[in-house]
Amino acid sequence: YRGAAPFSEPETAALRDFLTAHLNVRAYVDLHSYGFMILWPWGHTPELSENNITFDLLGTGMAERIVEVRGTGYPYRGPVYTTIYPVNGGSLDYSYGELGLWSITFEIGYYFYMPTYEIIPTSEEMFQSLAFLSEWVFDCNGNGVADADEIAHGESDDCNGNLTPDECEQQPDFDTDGIVDICDADID
C-alpha cells in the first residue's frame, strides 16, 4: 500500500530513512513474484530513463548469470511501465530518481507461494545475478560513476571485456601508454 501521501506509511518511511542514512548504498533491489522478469525504471511514465541503455546491458548480464545457474533465464526485461504496467509511487522509481541508485526489480517464478524445492535454486540464481550487479556498480576510480556505466557510455575503455575500466586494471602497462599490455597491440 503506497499510503495517503509520500512516506506516510511506516514501511515506506523506514525504507527511505535507511537508504538516506546509508550513502554508500549503490543499488536497490526488489524481489517480487511472479513472472521471470528483470525490470528497471521508470514505472510511472512510458519515457525511458536516461540510463535505459545501461539498464538494458545490466539486465541482460544479470539474466545471463541466471541462465548459467538454471539453464533458463528471465526472458522479459525492460522498464516497468512498458514491460508490465504503469506503477504509481514505486520504490524503484524513488530509489533511482531521487537517490541515484541502480534500481532493479526481479519478478521471480510463477508461484503464488514458493514451493520448498524451488527455494535453493532460486537463491542460487539470485546470488549469481546479484554478484553481477555488485560488479557492475563498482567504482574503481572513485569518480562517483559505476565502472560499467562509464564503459557503456564510452567514457572508459574496457579492452578485455571484464567490466573494469582499463585505467583501473591491475595488469601491467610496461610501455606506460595507458593501455594494459594484455590489450595493447604495440607490445611484442
Per-residue cell: 133: 550487479
In the set 107, 125, 150, 169, the catalytic residue is: 107
Pairing state between β 102-107 and 37-40: antiparallel
Task: Output DSSP code: residue 166.
Answer: G
Say if residues 79 and 41 touch (Cβ distance below 8 Å).
Answer: yes
Phi and psi torsions of 79, nearest 5°? -65, 145
**Exposure b/e, 37-59, CB count within 10 A at least 16 = b:** bbbbbbbbeeebbebeebbbbbb
Per-residue cell: 184: 595493447
Per-residue cell: 56: 538494458
107 is catalytic: yes
SS3 12: helix
Please state whether the peptide bond connecting residue 42 to the residue before it is cis, i.e. omega within 30 degrees of 0: yes
Active site members: 107
